[in-house]
A and B are shown apart, each in its own frame.
Chain A
Amino acid sequence: MKYADEFRDKEIALGLAKAIRNEANPNKPYRFMEFCGGHTHAISRYGLEDMLPKNVRMIHGPGCPVCVLPAGRIDMAIRLAERPDIILCVYGDLMRVPGSHGASLLKVKARGADIRMVYSTTDAIRIAADNPGREVVFFAIGFETTTPPTAVMIRLAEKKQIENFSVFCNHVLTPPAMQNILESPDIRNIGRVEIDGFVGPAHVSTIIGTAPYEFFAEEFGKPVVISGFEPLDMMQAILMLVRQVNEHRHEVENQYSRAVNRDGNLRAKEEVSDIFELRDQFEWRGLGQVPYSGLKLKRAYAKYDAEVRFDMDELHADDNPACECGAILRGVKKPVDCKLFGTVCTPETPMGSCMVSSEGACAAHWTYGRFRDHQQRRAS
């Protein structure tokens, strides 16, 4: 497949693996967090861990928007969907995300709620136009990458005077979450693992550019390498991080230069800042409340804001106390260290954020990598 196979070339990968092995100091641990679920998925799907030396370890961060959506927000969506006047439009991977007490959109749909799986924001607008007698709510989730399409859709609804359309906004931001990983008060309770560098987001950075990470790299003294989602991108980014650590640098470097520049997509950023504003805080499954990490619609667009339009109550549900997602997301624990992993918590019945979507740390490990646990157990 053109434009994909080039970034999956085994020979080049082996060359990069060799360079990483040669340049990484064998007496020193290198602990890198890949923020994005897309990276986590690539690592697992292509078996990248097998190609890295033992002292280069990848910690799987919280960058999967489906995973970090808290149960309370799912409960809120379920309440909406149960109203007979509402059609709720959602992306398919949200259907199985657990709310509280084992509820999910999939189960509510089976009981008769009108929930439609859509593949793009424009599908939701079309459904609204086709059903003028019903209220159509789009369940908007995602990082900076998916926020501009939601903004465009609100513009479109405005222009076409589609009055029965609104958005349940759950858009979140990357930089505040990265910061939270390093400095949240929770660290006192769950301990911390030193992180030596970050593999920075690919698609998110096409929108926001590399500039927003500069403060972060400087303030925390951590190197950040923006990387594409293809396996060769990742290998190269890891090599770049190894070099920064060896040279005691902490800069923002851009491996994904074919798609990302320093300033990002100005038009998209403008649309987003016209329509959305920061929430004081937003809850992340696994991380808890993270200050200034979520977006909501500005008051001028309140009629498109489902939370205002339907006077939705903010709901909260506690995660299972045995769930170790918080520690796993910070690299303190591995999926196998969690009692729930693979027992009651599996991709079919996810309990915690890391198991919810295939991009979560636990789900990726379960789906692609759990044979290594048995290999390790045998070896020891």
Chain B
Amino acid sequence: MKAYQRKLDIRNGCVDLSHGSGGRAMAQLISGLFHEAFGNEWLARGNDQSAFDVGAGRMVMTTDGYVVSPLFFPGGNIGSLAVHGTVNDIAMAGARPLYLSASFIIEEGFRFADLKTIAESMGEAARKAGVHIITGDTKVVERGKADGLFISTAGVGVVPDGLDLSAENARVGDRVLISGTLGDHGVAIMSRRQNLAFETEIVSDSVSLNGLVANMVEAGGRSIRLMRDPTRGGLAAALNEIAQQSGLGFHLIEQAIPVKPGVAAACELLGLDPLHVANEGKLVAIVASEAAGAVLAAMRAHPLGREAADIGEAVADDHHFVQMATSFGGGRIVDWLSGEQLPRIC
């Protein structure tokens, strides 16, 4: 006979150390909260791992930790972010994301209601992206040892035949395409920071990009040299990284780079450069110039790429500088961000 167990009091209850102890409480938390939110056949089997078939071709794997503060922000929460971020890392290989794992480090006292909201956001984000969260882990730590909740996700995906996106593929003359406005996520987070709260309509752009990527791959195939999602450090960091890895430089046109007026205003006020501010739903693609028009058109035809733009080109440069013609008429470097603009942005 099954021992009697009181139902989880989602509305008023909170996580305590027993929920990480490996006992009944933990089993109840997992089945009552996570399985419900993620609902799929793999989790239902209740194993410590999940088996799945591997198709032919190359696979990609990635992992990422999420420590964003605050946990809930305009346009998302740590849960949706933990799915989008990992899905996007897979998608940047041109790959189709398939399965995720999710690991939770929860501080005792964390409210079940919040955990449920977060888990449900993860489930919804996964469904929208067409991926399944098929294995996971839960740990509970004492009060003060984690700031509410940290999530770690890993993911695997499969790369279409013949595709091998990587920085060393970039060539002089390639175009630099971005999928939309820059800096939305960073500004949305900043607007909710306790000591920095300001009013803005900007919401995080956090979203899974695999649908957009599939359209791009269909239109551009191997003419797409590589893709990156410009998260921490913004577009500036992504392009400097690519410049270093490809041995090239980049010339950008400031006027061509889309930035929402609200983001531009917030950056102005805070002394930030939108090119350094984090994104969670944008990608930058380096594309052979002859295919750039077709790829850009494919991006603009997708709801997540409506504001996609061609913002510059790859050039030969021994110093691997990312340079930009300013809207004002001068020239400047777009350098790495130095120091920390904002800790725990994702």
Interface residues of A (CB under 8 A from B): 1, 4, 8, 10, 13-14, 17, 44-51, 95-96, 117-119, 123, 231, 346-348, 358, 366-371, 374
- Would A347 and B327 count as touching, CB distance under 8 A? no
- Would A47 and B319 count as touching, CB distance under 8 A? no
- Chain B residues near A123 (CB-CB < 8 A): 195
Q: Can you report 7 A-B residue pairs in the complex whose CB atoms are below 8 A from each other?
A: A4-B268, A47-B328, A123-B195, A346-B338, A347-B338, A368-B333, A371-B323
B332 partner, pick from A8, A13, A368, beta carbons under 8 A: A368
Task: Give the interface residue-count category, chain B.
Answer: 20 to 34
B326 CB within 8 Å of chain A:
yes
Closest to B273 in A: A45
A347 to chain B minimum Cβ distance, whole angstroms, is 4
Closest to B342 in A: A92
Could you tell me which residues of chain B, from 187 to 205, have a CB within 8 Å of some CB in chain A? Answer: 195-196
Measured between alpha carbons, how far is A95 from B338 in the docked complex, in Å?
13
- Would B329 and A367 count as touching, CB distance under 8 A? no
- Would A51 and B338 count as touching, CB distance under 8 A? no
- Would A370 and B333 count as touching, CB distance under 8 A? yes
Mark B298-338 against chain A: 1 for CB-CB distance below 8 A, else 0. 00000000000000000000010101011111111101001
Measured between alpha carbons, how far is A8 from B321 in the docked complex, in Å?
25
Pairs of residues from A and B, 5 with the lowest C-beta to C-beta distance, nearest first: A47-B330, A347-B338, A368-B332, A46-B328, A50-B330
Measured between alpha carbons, how far is A4 from B269 in the docked complex, in Å?
11
- Would B329 and A47 count as touching, CB distance under 8 A? yes
- Would B339 and A49 count as touching, CB distance under 8 A? no
Whether A1 contacts B265 in the complex (CB less than 8 A), given A45-B332, A46-B332, A369-B332, comes out as yes
- Would A348 and B328 count as touching, CB distance under 8 A? no
- Would A374 and B319 count as touching, CB distance under 8 A? yes
Whether A1 contacts B335 in the complex (CB less than 8 A), given A10-B328, A45-B326, A51-B330, comes out as no
Give the residue among A17, A47, A358 with the most B Cβ atoms within 10 A. Answer: A47
B27 CB within 8 Å of chain A:
no
- Would A8 and B327 count as touching, CB distance under 8 A? yes
Whether A50 contacts B327 in the complex (CB less than 8 A), given A118-B195, A119-B196, A367-B338, comes out as no
Whether A348 contacts B195 in the complex (CB less than 8 A), given A13-B328, A46-B330, A50-B331, comes out as no
A47 partner, pick from B195, B265, B326, beta carbons under 8 A: B326
Whether A47 contacts B327 in the complex (CB less than 8 A), given A1-B261, A347-B338, A347-B339, comes out as no
Measured between alpha carbons, how far is A49 from B330 in the docked complex, in Å?
7
- Chain A residues near B333 (CB-CB < 8 A): 367-371
Measured between alpha carbons, how far is A263 from B265 in the docked complex, in Å?
30
B264 CB within 8 Å of chain A:
yes
Measured between alpha carbons, how far is A4 from B325 in the docked complex, in Å?
19
Closest to B195 in A: A123
- Chain B residues near A358 (CB-CB < 8 A): 338
Closest to A372 in B: B331
Closest to A368 in B: B332
- Would A10 and B329 count as touching, CB distance under 8 A? yes
Measured between alpha carbons, how far is A17 from B261 in the docked complex, in Å?
28
Measured between alpha carbons, how far is A358 from B270 in the docked complex, in Å?
14
A297 to chain B minimum Cβ distance, whole angstroms, is 25
- Would A47 and B332 count as touching, CB distance under 8 A? yes
A368 partner, pick from B196, B268, B335, beta carbons under 8 A: B335
- Chain A residues near B264 (CB-CB < 8 A): 1, 4
Measured between alpha carbons, how far is A48 from B332 in the docked complex, in Å?
9
Mark B247-270 against chain A: 1 for CB-CB distance below 8 A, else 0. 000000000000001001100100
Measured between alpha carbons, how far is A8 from B255 in the docked complex, in Å?
12
- Chain A residues near B325 (CB-CB < 8 A): 47
- Would B329 and A13 count as touching, CB distance under 8 A? yes
Measured between alpha carbons, how far is A50 from B330 in the docked complex, in Å?
5
Closest to A120 in B: B195
- Chain A residues near B329 (CB-CB < 8 A): 10, 13-14, 17, 47, 50-51
Closest to B334 in A: A368
Give me 6 other A-B pairs in contact (C-beta within 8 A), A348-B338, A367-B333 excluded. Answer: A1-B265, A44-B332, A47-B325, A47-B329, A48-B328, A371-B331
B285 to chain A minimum Cβ distance, whole angstroms, is 24
- Chain B residues near A370 (CB-CB < 8 A): 321, 333
Measured between alpha carbons, how far is A367 from B323 in the docked complex, in Å?
11
